[in-house]
Structure 1
Amino acid sequence: MVVRILSSSASFAGVSYNTNKIEKLRGELMKVSGFGPLQGLETLRPEDYKNYLKMVSAQNKRVSKPQFHAVISAKGKAYDKASLTEIAIRWLHQMGYADQPYLVVYHNDTGNNHVHLVSTRIGKDGKKISSGFENIRAIQNLNKVLGLDEKQRINLDVQKALNYQFKTRAQFKMILESAGYILKETGGNLQIIKSGILQDEIKLMLINERIHQNQPDTDRIKQLKAIFYKHGAEHDTKLMPVNSSSAGRDKINLKGYTSNFAAYMQDKHGIALIFHFKDDKPPYGYSIIDHAEKGVYKGSDILPMKILLAMQQDRSVVDQEMPSKLLPPVPETYELTANREYYRALLSAALNNYPDLKQGLRHQGLEVMPHGDELYLADPEADQYIPVSLLLDGAATLLMERYYGLRPEPEIAIININRPIAAIQIAEDIDDEAIHGRNRRRKKKARTNSR
C-alpha cells in the first residue's frame, strides 16, 4: 500500500476532480466529516464543499494554496472500499486532520483500488497544520495505521533480497531499488535509504560472498526463454516511456520504459523487466527480476533485446533465431511418450481447425520449431519437445516441412496450410415457419426463402 501527497490549490480543485469521478460512476463518496451544518443537507453540490473549505481557509491569509489532497492506494484488489476508507480516516487522524473538514472518495477506475482525501491545511482556529517532512510522515503514519514496523519491514526486504540468485552487486541493488529504496556505497557498506532517511546498512563483503555462492539456475533460464518466446507472441513488446511530473510543475521526467508484454509478465508471472537507458536516449539493454523464483538475470541471457522488440513487428526474426536456442537435447525415446496421442490431437486441431497454422498453435499454447533437419512440436511450459514425424503421417509431415523451409516449397503447400475459412454469412432473422412451415403446402403457397 502506498500514500502520496498531491498538489496544493487555492481553488480546491481536488473537490471538482473527485466529484467528477462520482458523476461518471468512477468514484463513490465514502465519508464526509467536519462540514458542520452542511452535512444535514440532503443534496450538496461540489461548490458547497469548496466554499466551506475556502471559508475555513480564509482565516489564514498567509497560506496561498491551502488545499490538502492525498491518495492512498492498495495493490490490486487487496483492500475493498470500506477497508480503504477506514485506513484513510485513521491516517488523517495521525496526520493531524481529525477535526478538519474532509472528504474521502473511493475510485474504481484503475487496476488498484484507491481513495482520495481532500481537506484544508488551515484549522478552524486559523492555525496552519504542520507540513514539515510531510511526505516522510505520510509513509510513517500509514505504516503505523497498518501495524507495520518500518525497521522490521526493511530488515525483511534486505533478507529477501539476499536470498535471490544474482551475479553482480548491480543486480542485487536492482532488487532493493525496485522496492523503492535508494542505495549508496560508502566505506565498505551499502547504505539503504528510504524517505530521505538512512534506514540500514549492509556490508559489501556479505553481498560479495553471496555472489560467489550463487550458481546459475540453468533449468529456470531455459524455462524463462520458453515463457518469453511464448508470451512475446501474444502481447505487444513495443516500448513505451513512463513519465512523471512534479506536483504543480510543467516539467515531465522520464522514469523508465515499459510495454504491454512487460506489464503482463509482472502481473501474471511475477517477472519484472527493468530497461536500462541514459538521459532521453532509447534503452540499450534490460535486466530481469524473477520474483517468482527469486533470481536476477541479464536480459540478453534470456532473450536479446533486438529479438524481444521484434517479436510483434517481424515474427520471421524470432522464427529464424529462437528455436535452436530453446530446444534442449533431444531424447531418444519419444516412441514411448505417454502424451503422444494428446499432442497428435492438438497438432491436428491446429492444422485443420484454424485459418492459419501458427494461429492454431498459439491458441493451443504450442510452437513448431525447426531444429537441424527435423521439426519439433514444443510445449515449453510442460517441457515437452516431440518430433512432428511421430505425430503426423508422411504426407502431412512433408507438408509442414515445406512450410517451415526444410523441403522445397511448392505454392500448393502454402495454400493448403494457410487455407482461408469461408466467411460465415448470417442472414436476417426470419420466421422459419412462415417460409418453410407446415401450412405453406396446405395453403397452396410455394416454398420460398423470401417474403
Structure 2
Amino acid sequence: MIVKILYTSGPNGHFPAISYNTGKMDKNKGELMRVANFGPLQRLGLLRPSDYRQYLRMVSATNKAVTKPQFHVAISAEGKSYNKQEITDFATQWLERMGYGKQPYLIIFHSDTLNNHVHIVSTRVDKQGKKIRDSFEQIRGQEQMNIILGINEKHNTQRDISKALEYQFATKAQFMMLLECRGYVLKEAGQVMQVIKFGKQQGEVSIAAIEERQKEYAPNEKRRVQLKALFHKYAVLHDTGLTKNRTVYTSAFSVVLKEKFGIELLYHASVDKAPYGYTVIDHDKKQVFKGGEIVPLKELLAIKAVSNKKPSDTSIESNKAFKFLTTEKKEFYSSILKAVLHNYPDMMQGLQHQGLMIYRKGESFYLHDPGAGLYAGLDKLLNESDYNLVVENFSQAQETSEELYRQHHHFSGINLASDVDDEAILGMKRRRKQKARTNLR
C-alpha cells in the first residue's frame, strides 16, 4: 500500500481537492466512502461541494499562519488486492495515527486506474487553531501505513535485493536500475551499496556480490531475437511516442509490454532533454538488456511516426469523398468496423489488420481508409452501442497509458503498489452514464 501526500493547494486555502474529487464523482469515477467530523453540517442531508469547502476554510481560518492548509492524500493498493471498503478502513486508521482522526475529512474511492485507491481531503489546522505536525510527513506516512499492514520494510528490502541478484545483468548500473525502478535509492559507500527507501537505509548489498553475479552474465541471443520481433509487432499497434511526467518517460507501447509480458522499459534522459536511450528489463526471463540491443530508440520511435501519422483537422473537414459513396460501400465499411470491434481481441489490432485508422477530433470520431483516401464520421457508420464501444476502447487505452508512470510493478512475491498521483487525468471523456446523484454534487 502506497501513501502519496499531494502538495497542492489553491490561493488562500480554497481547497481545490474538493472540486477535483467531486469532479471524479460527476464522471462516475469516484465514490464518497466516508465523511467525518463536520459537526452539524453532516445532519443537513444533501450537501454541495461548496458546503464542505466552506467548513474546511472556516476551521483553517483559525490559524492565519498556515497559508496552505489543504491536506490531500492518495492511498493506493496494488491492483485490486484490496476493495474500496478495505482501503477506506486502512485510510481511517492511518488518519488516526497521523493526528487527523478528529479532523473534518472526506474519503473518496477512485475507480479510474488499474490500482484501487482512495483520496483523503482534510485541513492541517485543528479546531483549536493549532497546526498538525507535518515534519517528515511523507516518510512518516508510509511508515505508519506499513505498521498498520504489519509490513517489515527491512525484511522486504532484503528480499528485493535477493530477487534482483537473480537477474542476468551486464553492469553494476543495470543492477542498480533493478532496485531503483522499485522505488529505492542506491548509494555506494566503500565496499557496500546502501539501499535507501522512505529516507532511511533499509539494507545493503556488498559490491563483491554484485560483481560476482555480473561475471555470470551470459547474453541470451534467442531471447533478444524474440523481443525484437515482439517490439516490432506491438509498435505498429500501440503508440511509441513518449510523454513525460516530472522526470519519468512513458508511452502506450511501454504500458502494453509491461502489462501483457512483464517487460519494463526505462528511458534515460539528461535534464530538459529528450531521452537518448533506454534499458529493457525482462521480468519474465529475469534478464536486463540495453535497448539498442533490441531496437534502437530512434528506430522504435520512427515506427510510431510512420504507422500512426494523424491527419490534420483540415484534411478531415475538406474530405468530401464519403458523401458520394454508394449505400453498399457504406455498409461495407460498417461491417468491417463491426468485425474489428467484435471479432478481434484488441480493437487496435483489428484496425491494423484491416488497414484502417480511427481518429478523434474534439468529441467526434472518424474512420480513415488510407488506401481510399477518405474519412467518415463513425456516427454515420455505427449504431449507438458500437459507437460507445469505440469510445470506451479509446478511453481505456488512454487511461492505461497514463497509469504506467504511477505504477511500481513488482517482482514475483513482492507486494508493492503504485505511487498514485492523479491530479491530472489524461484521456478522453467517456459518455456519462445515468446514475443517481451523490450528496457531494
Q: Same fold (TM over 0.5)?
A: yes
Q: Secondary structure at the match of 2:159?
A: helix
- Identify the match of residue 270 of structure 2 among 278, 288, 306: 278
**How far apart, in 2, do the equivalents of 1:207 and 1:200 lie?**
14
Residue 419 to residue 128, structure 1, CA distance change in 2 (3 Å): closer
- Identify the match of residue 183 of structure 1 among 168, 177, 186: 186
CA apart distance, 1:363: 4.8
Aligned counterparts, 1:14-413, within 5 A: 14-240=17-243, 242-244=244-246, 255-314=247-306, 363=353
For structure 2, the 5+ residue unaligned runs are 308-348, 355-370, 382-441
Residue 125 to residue 281, structure 1, CA distance change in 2 (3 Å): closer
CA deviations on 1:76-120 (whole Å, 9 max, x unpaired) are: 333322222112111111211111111001122333322110111
Match of 1:370 in 2: none
Q: Secondary structure at the match of 1:227?
A: helix
Match of 2:2 in 1: 2
CA apart distance, 1:218: 3.0
**How far apart, in 2, do the equivalents of 1:151 and 1:297 lie?**
29
**How far apart, in 1, do the equivalents of 2:131 and 2:23 lie?**
28
**How far apart, in 2, do the equivalents of 1:260 and 1:158 lie?**
29
Q: Secondary structure at the match of 1:136?
A: helix
Q: Secondary structure at the match of 1:72?
A: strand
Q: Which amino acid aligns with 1:154?
A: T
**How far apart, in 2, do the equivalents of 1:198 and 1:208 lie?**
21
TM-score normalized with structure 2 length: 0.67
CA apart distance, 1:148: 1.1
**How far apart, in 1, do the equivalents of 2:238 and 2:99 lie?**
46
Residue 314 to residue 15, structure 1, CA distance change in 2 (3 Å): closer
Select between 225-234 and 165-174 the one with higher mean Cα deviation.
225-234
**How far apart, in 1, do the equivalents of 2:115 and 2:100 lie?**
25
**How far apart, in 1, do the equivalents of 2:302 and 2:65 lie?**
57
Q: Secondary structure at the match of 1:293?
A: coil
CA apart distance, 1:419: 12
Q: Which amino acid aligns with 1:210?
A: R
Report which of the two structures shows the higher radius of gyration computed on alpha carbons: 1
Match of 2:430 in 1: none
**How far apart, in 2, do the equivalents of 1:259 and 1:24 lie?**
25
CA deviations on 1:244-288 (whole Å, 9 max, x unpaired) are: 3xxxxxxxxxx1322211111111111111111212222221110
**How far apart, in 1, do the equivalents of 2:119 and 2:173 lie?**
37
Residue 208 to residue 145, structure 1, CA distance change in 2 (3 Å): same
Select between 99-108 and 224-233 the one with higher mean Cα deviation.
224-233
Aligned sequence identity (%)? 51
CA apart distance, 1:70: 0.7
Q: Which amino acid aligns with 2:42?
A: Q
Residue 13 to residue 307, structure 1, CA distance change in 2 (3 Å): closer
CA apart distance, 1:362: 7.2
Q: Secondary structure at the match of 1:281?
A: coil
**How far apart, in 2, do the equivalents of 1:198 and 1:309 lie?**
38
Q: Which amino acid aligns with 1:63?
A: V
Q: Which amino acid aligns with 1:196?
A: G
CA apart distance, 1:210: 0.4
CA deviations on 1:298-330 (whole Å, 9 max, x unpaired) are: 111122223222223347xxxxxxxxxxxxxxx
**How far apart, in 2, do the equivalents of 1:17 and 1:238 lie?**
28
Q: Which amino acid aligns with 2:116?
A: N
Q: Which amino acid aligns with 2:268?
A: H
Match of 1:389 in 2: none
**How far apart, in 2, do the equivalents of 1:110 and 1:184 lie?**
33
Match of 1:374 in 2: none
CA deviations on 1:361-417 (whole Å, 9 max, x unpaired) are: 9759xxxxxxxxxxxxxxxxxxxxxxxxxxxxxxxxxxxxxxxxxxxxxxxxxxxxx
**How far apart, in 2, do the equivalents of 1:63 and 1:419 lie?**
63
Choose between structure 1 and 2 for higher RCO, CA contacts under 8 A separated by at least 6 residues: 2
**How far apart, in 1, do the equivalents of 2:279 and 2:28 lie?**
40
Q: What is the Cα-based RMSD across aligned positions, in Å? A: 2.6
**How far apart, in 1, do the equivalents of 2:297 and 2:122 lie?**
47
Q: Secondary structure at the match of 2:304?
A: coil
CA apart distance, 1:205: 0.9
For structure 1, the 5+ residue unaligned runs are 245-254, 316-358, 365-417, 428-451
CA apart distance, 1:226: 2.2
Instruction: Count residues with an aligned counterpart.
Output: 316
Q: Secondary structure at the match of 2:148?
A: helix
**How far apart, in 2, do the equivalents of 1:221 and 1:100 lie?**
55
Q: Which amino acid aligns with 2:263?
A: I
Q: Which amino acid aligns with 1:287?
A: T
**How far apart, in 2, do the equivalents of 1:207 and 1:157 lie?**
14
**How far apart, in 2, do the equivalents of 1:36 and 1:237 lie?**
51
